[in-house]
Amino acid sequence: MTAVPSVSYSITVRLDVPAGGASVSQLTTAVEQAGGAVTALDVTASGQERLRIDVTCAARDTDHAERLVEAMRGVPGVVIGKVSDRTFLMHLGGKIEMASKHPIRNRDDLSMIYTPGVARVSLAIAKNPEDARRLTSKRNSIAVVTDGSAVLGLGNLGAEAALPVMEGKAALFKRFGDIDAWPLCLDTQDVDEIVTVVHAIAPGFAGINLEDISAPRCFEVERRLRQLLDIPVFHDDQHGTAIVVLAALYNALRVVEKQISDVRIVMSGAGAAGTAVIKLLLAAGVRNIVVGDIAGVVYRGRDDLVGELEWLAENTNQLGFTGSIKEAVVGADVFIGLSVPGVLSGSDVAAMADRSIVFALANPVPEVDPAEASRYAAVVATGRSDFPNQINNVLAFPGVFRGLLDARCAHVTSTMLLAAASALAGVVTDDELNAAYIVPSVFHAELHHTVAAAVREAAGGPTELLTDTEVAI
């Protein structure tokens, strides 16, 4: 699969060119001939002899960005100045900050926000700890917790390297759910220590979002924290993925006019995300599903079954299929990949059932080339933003947590996850639905409100929420 220029590898090059002539058009041509895409061109200074221009262009990767700079350098009369990576510029100093909700303008403000006035509030909470939810930031705050062991698709990068990702997650929570999320990157990958730390900091939060913790460690961490805490614990890599995959499947099945209880599904990937997806698919009514991992198809009697793999063997592959993934997809209605590149070829997709569905979600390189899969499958989705039908967790987690916090939930249930998936799918109307549009844009005006309302209703929470001014002291 040939990569295309992406804003993720966007650079801005400041350069001087001769005034007049064809230098500007030559720059654009040079970038395009080198495989880049010019997205902006700004004249920042002008003189009789020379122009200073900022050229912004998208590249495929960092090496390609350097080649684009060299292509511009080759234009006659061009002098290259500063080259800026726009993604790194956006991360300088971090992407989030803390801000006060009330101005501190004088001594009266200081006395109420801090001592001595704050002592009255502390005493009230000591008398009734539940008041912390309405008299502190706890009511709208969650912790985004990672041990850095499974950062994006990059692997075990550690706590510091995970921080930019957790900051981004916090920014998304605020933008789409109006939730204050705090990145907590733990310098330990010991299950006992993770559980102890999160348990200790939990009083300051109304929810815990586990993020980028590798399997099988993540299963144990989540299980134990759910037993210990009276606030919701949500592992986005598992449950966020499951919600969006199920929502996309609901709508893909609408496109191909098949029922979820009738289709045969093959999944590649039995890690945290794959296991959670399977559990939610089964809860949604799927009856025929086969899953494979690096050791092959999971079936009863395989000699390496422990933990979640043992559960998968007991609850999937009811016919006891023992072949390869390539053999399993023959005649299958749906393929879902949450694994590695190159699992299938176009000919494998061609061997699937008529009007098949392919979700190839490995990132950045999917399990099968989406363009090749589209030749044979009726609906194709990926985890990438440069193809239609991006399966992205940001479609789910802001609305899900908004609903959990509004309902003051103590736990996350399958009923809530199913409600979120149905609500997400329903945002795409019958008039909008087609093979290239099975999930809405993350910027859809009603998306996150709709998901939040569904979760709140499933949790039995209030249908109308109190405002700050309506909460009695």
Q: By C-alpha distance, which of 404, 396, 395 is closest to 462?
A: 404
Instruction: Check 9, 95, 101, 114 and give the catalytic one.
Output: 114
pLDDT band at 466 (very low <50, low <70, confident <90, very high): very low
Beta strand pairing status for 357-360 and 379-382? parallel
Position 318 pLDDT exceeds 60: yes
Q: Does residue 92 register a pLDDT over 70?
A: yes
- Does residue 135 have a pLDDT over 70? yes
pLDDT, residue 1, reads 56
The residues that bridge with 390 in the sheet, in sequence order, are 382
Task: Report domain 134-231's class.
Answer: alpha beta
Answer for the pair 183, 169: CB distance below 8 angstroms, yes or no: yes
What architecture is domain 238-473? Answer: 3-Layer(aba) Sandwich (3.40)
177 or 306: which leads in pLDDT: 177
Residue 154: per-residue pLDDT? 84
**Is residue 299 annotated as part of the catalytic site, yes or no?**
no
Q: What is the phi/psi pair of residue 204, to 5°?
A: -85, 5
What is the C-alpha to C-alpha distance for residues 472 and 306, in angstroms, rounded to an integer? 52
Cβ distance 11 to 69 under 8 Å? yes
| Phi, psi torsion values for 104, nearest 5 degrees | -110, 90
126 — pLDDT class (breaks 50, 70, 90): very high
Range list of H helices, 407-446: 414-426
Total residue count of the chain as it appears in this document: 473
Let me know if the fold of 134-231 is the same as that of 238-473.
yes
Q: What is the pLDDT of residue 7?
A: 86
461 has a pLDDT exceeding 90: no
Residue 155 has a CB neighbour count (10 Å cut-off) of 11
What is the C-alpha to C-alpha distance for residues 422 and 419, in angstroms, rounded to an integer? 5
Would the pLDDT of 331 be above 60?
yes
Q: Is 169 considered catalytic here?
A: yes
pLDDT band at 434 (very low <50, low <70, confident <90, very high): very high
pLDDT attached to residue 2: 57
Domain 6-91 coded CATH 3.30.70.260: yes
- Binned at pLDDT 50, 70 and 90, residue 462 comes out as low
Q: What 3-state DSSP class applies to 241?
A: helix
194-241, pLDDT tens digit by residue?
Answer: 999 999 999 999 999 999 999 888 999 999 999 999 999 999 989 999
Residue of 138, 169, 258, 279 marked catalytic:
169
Q: Give start and end residues of each alpha helix (H) in 351-396.
A: 370-373
**Whether pLDDT at 388 is above 50:** yes
Give the Å distances, CA to CA, from 135 to 60, 112, 119, 126, 328.
Answer: 49, 13, 12, 12, 56
Predicted pLDDT at 277? 95
214: phi then psi, degrees, rounded to nearest 5: -70, 155
Record the pTM: 0.88
Averaged pLDDT, 300-320: 87
Mean pLDDT of the chain: 91
Q: What is the DSSP letter of 266?
A: E
Q: 6-18 and 50-59 as β-strands: parallel, antiparallel, unpaired?
A: antiparallel
- Per-residue pLDDT tens over the stretch 158-174: 999 999 999 999 999 99
- Domain locations in the chain as residue ranges: 6-91, 134-231, 238-473
